[in-house]
Structure 1
Amino acid sequence: MALNLHYLRVFAAVADQRGFTKAAAALHLSQPAVSKAVRGIERQVGAPLLERGARGVRLTDAGAVLHARARELFAVERSAEEELRALRGLEGGTLRIGASTTIATYLLPRLLGRFRARHPGVELRVATANTRAVARRLVQRRLDVALVEGPVAHPRIEVLPWRDDALVVVAPVDHPLARRRRVAPEALAAEPFIARERGSGTRRVAEAALRAAGVAPRRLLTLGSTAAVTQAVAAGLGLAIVSRLAAADQLALGRVALVRVPDLAMRRALTRLRLVGREPSAAARAFDELLEDD
């Protein structure tokens, strides 16, 4: 039985995205085309592969087996593409970079400019996501370079140090805590906090520091980007713990204020992720050299 690879790719996307609508958007196909492809491969294998439910789709036993093999197949395909791209060296090809939000917004643009000046023939593609999503894309071989701001523990990922970053507490400019020279960590407990979504490196480090200080914020507003968090602080919605890099512009403009909490020292490592056993392309090696010089 020869499987239709287009159908297989569409089925794998539906399984990865856990739904037909998201898969259609990811593949730039219509939803009817996605449904047709899934029906087609189900006819080929002679068994249902997906179960539809109120919460999306779920793999059947047959679907789970086929999905695992599909991911292996497409990983081999990406490896072949990478090896061929590496043969082209730095005169062409594509470098796919994934970066978590703070890095992508405040550090990566300068690095991209320097890389482009040195290697103008390489096409740059940048994906911005939280730490968890960047690590997942690297394991799926959808990235050549991965830079994150949160802790990562995965048997297939090697974590390499890059640079340090400090986190600070910021508040609306008229907030009483912003007027104090020194604030005890327990004074934060009653304050509403604004944070990134779960999976964000900033949020994980901030929550760990607050727990260590015995602080559990009672109210939490979750937003999807660091810029949105600092804007919400400026609008008076609460306090936030953010990268000093991310807060620098708003602090300089006087739209948010620093809350000085000496007993809540928060530093984190910004790291590079590397897939164990994967040989980097020439472009990825050149970008790594740029990071080492940064």
Structure 2
Amino acid sequence: MPFELRLLEQAVALDAHRSFTRAAAALNQSQPTLSHAIRLLEDRTGAPLFHRGRRGVEPTDLGRVFLERARDILARVQDLDRETRLAHGLQSGSLSIGLGPYAAEVLLPVAAPRFVAAHPTVRVSIEMGTAEALLRGLRGRQFSFFVADTSVLSEEDDLDMSLRLAPIGGYVVGRKGHPLALAADRGVAAAFAYPFAMVSWLPPRVLQPILNAQELRRREGHPIFPVFPAVTCPSVDLAKRIAAESDVLVFTSLGLVQEELQAGRLTPLMAVPWLKTEWAVVRLRNHPLTPLAGAFVQELQRRHAEVLETEAGLAEQWGSGVAPPAPTAVRKGTGRRAGASVKRIREGRAST
């Protein structure tokens, strides 16, 4: 019962578009040609693969099983074709990768130019998104790998996440002279009296302590800003610009606001123990990285090591005056002294 790849591609296209007309147009062929191909497939399987449903053409139960196998076969053929071309030097090469928004902001501005300089004939395609969106792209073979927060992917058993990047700590940052800097209460709950600008969706491991701190502040009768986040931004650059000109606060690493710290436009207000990265290089299990993908990963690792060193230096420089918060309790009374050492900040993180 032979199945040509062309027939599998036609069946997958029909399932994707749920219309013979649209699928034929996407395949750049006539509708009768597509109809003939589907009939040929059904003749070979001995049973219908599609039927007319409420939403157009829908797969039968057998059709769904058949299409799942067909997609896997086509993806493997694409992988084999790409790797063969690269191995024999038949093309300069192309690489598609995905990154979460913060990983992209932190790593790509340096890692990507280095890779391009070392591989000038390689075409690189980069997409940003949440871990869930990037996972869909990875499974659809749109990416060789992606880098993002992996806390929401722990139950996915088809992934390899063994290559993890050491965590980068986070801070609440605001404009110089922000009212929170002068407040007696410098716990994280106090920050929610002010609006926040955010770049992307937050994973549950970060969102839950935020909700806990907001609820604690509410129970104790303190005002909180009515919405979180108050501003959703497409980039960290826009978020920190808004913060520099208003009472808006931003969750960020120190490295992402290094220029603003040096210029006196922003200042770290508190370290947040639970706000740290959990990034990993994510690929499909049993799908090793191609040489090009491996080379890009090496550049990301190299840049990440540099970022860790920079963050440590900035913590030493700006650590004094940063009060460690308690994510589940509001500290009353006076805040920590402005001369608190980096050691005390780290102790505050460990005890939270």
2:285 aligns with one of 234, 252, 276: 276
Residues 24-82 of structure 1, C-alpha deviation per residue, up to 9 Å, x if partnerless? 9xx9x989x89x69x959974663366439xxx98775664454234323322332233
Contact 1:86 1:283 in 2 (8 A): no
1:92-241 equivalence runs, <5 A: 92-151=92-151, 152-153=153-154, 154-159=156-161, 160-173=163-176, 175-180=178-183, 183-198=186-201, 202-210=202-210, 214-216=213-215, 218-221=226-229, 223=232, 225-227=234-236, 228-234=238-244, 236=246, 238-241=248-251
Counterparts of 2:52 and 2:108, CA distance in 1: 41
Gaps of 5+ in 2: 43-47, 216-223, 304-352
TM-score, normalised to structure 1, is 0.71
Larger radius of gyration: 2
Q: Percent identity?
A: 21
Contact 2:93 2:122 in 1 (8 A): yes
Counterparts of 2:177 and 2:251, CA distance in 1: 17
C-alpha displacement at 1:276, in angstroms?
1.2
Gaps of 5+ in 1: none
Contact 2:173 2:251 in 1 (8 A): yes
Counterparts of 1:149 and 1:133, CA distance in 2: 12
Counterparts of 2:100 and 2:259, CA distance in 1: 19
Name the counterpart of 1:68. 68
Counterparts of 2:91 and 2:124, CA distance in 1: 13
Counterparts of 1:76 and 1:162, CA distance in 2: 29
Q: Which secondary structure state, in structure 1, belongs to the residue aligned with residue 167 of structure 2? A: strand
Larger % of strand: which? 1
1:290 aligns with one of 263, 283, 299: 299
Q: Which secondary structure state, in structure 1, belongs to the residue aligned with residue 280 of structure 2? A: strand
Residues 247-268 of structure 1, C-alpha deviation per residue, up to 9 Å, x if partnerless? 44454555544322x4645322
Contact 1:150 1:204 in 2 (8 A): no
Q: Write the letter of the residue equivalent to 1:244.
A: L
Report whether the alignment pairs 1:244 with 2:247: no
Q: Which secondary structure state, in structure 1, belongs to the residue aligned with residue 143 of structure 2? A: coil
TM-score, normalised to structure 2, is 0.61
Q: How many residue pairs are counted as aligned between the two chains?
A: 275
Contact 1:161 1:272 in 2 (8 A): yes
